[in-house]
Amino acid sequence: MREPDFNDLAARLLQSGIAPRHAHRTVNEIRDHYDDLVDAALEEGVSRRKARLRAAHELGRIDDLVAEMSARRELKTWAFRYPRAAIVVYPLACLAVLPVAPVFAGIANAPLLARWGASLLAAGLFTAALLLVLQLSILFG
């Protein structure tokens, strides 16, 4: 009997449509539960290897857990609960968001945009000053 693969459990839960919040919390809880079972077995004087085997046995089959989670519609993401609606709503939402996406991108990258604007202004002023000096030197040179 193998030690449970918690990364695989997380991937399987997410693939079956379980909301990330529930999937990640379940994996953390199962991992803690497994550690508690191992600790309890070790306290009884069992070897670490046997303690892990016993803990895996007590925890139950990972397939059962995935099946039990998948059977609960309320734990799934909105798109998995209403797939037909999602097919319609997601593309429409994308189209609606597209025109305002640059605004959101600008807000999200405001410091970068401010630095870029300041650099552009400084470069413009510097170029204008050079041109002015050139013009004056031509006029009075």
For other proteins, the binding residues (CB under 8 A) are 1, 4, 22, 25-26, 28-30, 32-33, 35-37, 56-65, 68-69, 71-72, 74-75
Nearest-approach distance from CB 127 to other proteins, in angstroms: 57
Shortest Cβ 79–other proteins spacing (Å): 16
Give 4 or 17: the residue with its C-beta nearer to other proteins. 4
- Cβ 10 to other proteins shortest distance, Å: 13
Tokens, residue 68: 């039990």
Q: Which is nearer to other proteins, 48 or 72 (CB)?
A: 72
Place of tokens 């807000």: 107
Tell me how far apart the alpha carbons of residues 111 and 108 are, in angstroms, rounded to a whole number: 8
When the beta carbons of 79 and 114 are compared against other proteins, the nearer one is 79
Which regions of 8-119 does DSSP assign to beta strands (E)?
none
Secondary structure element (H or E) that encloses residue 44, with its range: none
Query: Which residue lies nearer to other proteins by CB, 36 or 132?
Result: 36
Interhelix angle 62-70/6-15, nearest 10 degrees: 20
Sign of the CA dihedral with 73 first, then 79, 80, and 82 last = positive
Minimum distance of other proteins from residue 49's CB (angstroms): 16
Least distance (Å) between residue 86 CB and other proteins: 19
Contact assessment for residue 46 and residue 57, using Cβ atoms and an 8 Å cutoff: no
